[in-house]
Amino acid sequence: MLFASPHASAKDLKNYMHQFLDMAADLADAGIEGSHPNWSKIDETVKKMKRCVSQMRSAVSTDTYRVYIDRLSGSLDQITAMSREHDLNVGKAYDHLSQSCMKCHSAHLTPGITFREP
């Protein structure tokens, strides 16, 4: 398409967002910020999120979102690595995940959408 509209992309992305919100809540339920995280539940949820990210990546038709999708994907990899080590600092990686959601939102005129207090 010659005049690719960023809004066409934004609409495509929107289909994934409620799933992301649910999965982010699942991570919180798995105790990712607590002292006894449920590691297998965390791994399972992060795998689902990774699948969702790759679907989202192929759904967007412009490069506009690429850097933000990479950031989101990087946060998920970080959680996977920390979960493997049963690293209790994984709550910090969850913070990064939250920020990677917000960075894309604030860059694309959807401020204030967050799954936790900044």
List interacting residues with ligand HEC (CB under 6 A): 10-11, 13-14, 17-18, 20-21, 24, 65, 68-69, 72, 100-101, 104-105, 108, 110, 113, 115
Residue number, 31 or 116, with CB nearest to ligand HEC:
116
Report the nearest approach of ligand HEC to the CB of residue 35 (Å). 23
Q: Kindly report each contact of residues 27-34 with a partner whose C-beta sits within 8 Å and lies 24 or more positions away, as own/partner.
A: 27/79, 27/94, 27/97, 28/94, 28/115, 28/116, 32/79, 32/90, 32/91, 32/94, 33/91, 33/94, 34/91
Report the nearest approach of ligand HEC to the CB of residue 18 (Å). 6
Report the nearest approach of ligand HEC to the CB of residue 54 (Å). 13
Residue number, 16 or 31, with CB nearest to ligand HEC:
16
Report the nearest approach of ligand HEC to the CB of residue 82 (Å). 17
Give CA–CA dist 20/26, Å, rounded: 10
Put residue 112 in one of left, alpha, beta given phi > 0 → left and psi -120 to 50 → alpha.
left
